[in-house]
Amino acid sequence: MYAPGESYEECRATADWLLSSTQVRPTVGIVCGSGMGGLAEMLKDPQVIKYSDIPNFPRSTVHGHAGQLVFGTLKGKPCVCMQGRFHLYEGYPVQKITLPMRVFKFMGVETIFLTNAAGGLNQDYKVGDIMILKDHINMPGFAGNNPLVGPNDDRFGVRFPCMSDAYDRELRQLAQEVASELGYSDFLQEGVYVMLGGPSFETIAECRMLHKMGADAVGMSTIHEVIVARHAGMRCFALSLISNRVVMDYDSQEKANHEEVLEAGRLRAEQLQKLVSSMVARLEHNNNNNSF
């Protein structure tokens, strides 16, 4: 059964409450990862609603996550931005973590942009690189921790949704074009993201295994949100900021830490924000020409 706050009726009620609290009717949703909340500050005429004020909404407990929704316009496009997301390691059921995706759908959102900070498994990646997600490996899902587990309400989506097209091909191509125009190609990558539950960082043996499995970057978020967003029929585009190189050498003295993640976010945040905002602007142009 659905936990409190996750049923169709409760998700709809949360969306209706938000729609009654703002004049914005968002078609684009943005999820800000650790240290990347500045994306929300790009919105014009912003209206801020704290998670603690929203019926049925969880609370963000992680340093670097503000814990609020910001409504406004980005490049003329009505948007809603999550400044702070939710994670398995905070103790929430996976269905609660992904509740905002269903609420966004009910509010009229068609396209979701997600950002995260991730450790670089690919040895060609450098700290500060931005990786476009082309695919993912859902490690918690291997153990049955999938946000779609339980009864399926067909009003949300189909019982067995396809995930081979989870990350929209046209949006990925658009990102490459925009990055080239902005001069970002030197630090733009495209790869496979793997999610672990956290909150402990990975061991050396785990990193070696994940690398051999074909993962290019590792983190603790995003995938469950994408699964639910795709289940709801929204288009998804996701970026990882490579905030650290994972340790795969037993002789290394390096250690992963959250402060390093936030610092990498600060250093590259402006360019990441420009990339996303430029893509949103192009979305508007393409929508008018029925290209998207």
6 is known as an active-site residue = no
Q: From the CB of residue 143, how many other CB atoms can be counted at a distance below 10 Å?
A: 9
Of 280, 12, 29, 265, the closest CA to residue 171 belongs to: 280
- For tokens 């040895």, name the residue: 123
Q: Is the dihedral of CA 231, 237, 243, 246 positive or negative?
A: positive
Query: Residues near 12 by Cβ (< 8 Å), separated by ≥ 6?
Result: 106
Instruction: Note down pLDDT in tens along the chain; length 292 residues.
Output: 455 557 999 999 999 999 999 999 999 999 998 777 888 889 999 999 999 999 999 887 776 667 899 999 999 999 999 998 999 999 999 999 999 999 999 999 999 999 999 999 999 999 899 999 999 999 999 999 999 999 999 999 999 999 999 999 999 999 999 999 999 999 999 999 999 999 999 999 999 999 999 999 999 999 999 999 999 999 999 999 998 888 888 887 777 776 766 776 677 888 998 999 999 999 854 444 334 3
289 is known as an active-site residue = no
Q: Can you give the residue ranges of every domain in the chain?
A: 8-288
244 is known as an active-site residue = yes
60 is known as an active-site residue = no
The superfamily (CATH) of domain 8-288 is Nucleoside phosphorylase domain (3.40.50.1580)
Cis peptide before 199 (omega within 30 of 0): yes
234 is known as an active-site residue = no
Rounded distance between C-alpha atoms, residue 133 and residue 118, angstroms? 11
Q: Which of 221, 240, 277, 278 is catalytic?
A: 221
87 is known as an active-site residue = yes
Rounded distance between C-alpha atoms, residue 156 and residue 101, angstroms? 11
Rounded distance between C-alpha atoms, residue 242 and residue 267, angstroms? 11
117 is known as an active-site residue = yes
Q: Which of 10, 87, 202, 243 is catalytic?
A: 87
65 is known as an active-site residue = yes
Q: Which of 65, 211, 224, 231 is catalytic?
A: 65
164 is known as an active-site residue = no
229 is known as an active-site residue = no
Rounded distance between C-alpha atoms, residue 11 and residue 98, angstroms? 11
What is the model's pTM? 0.92
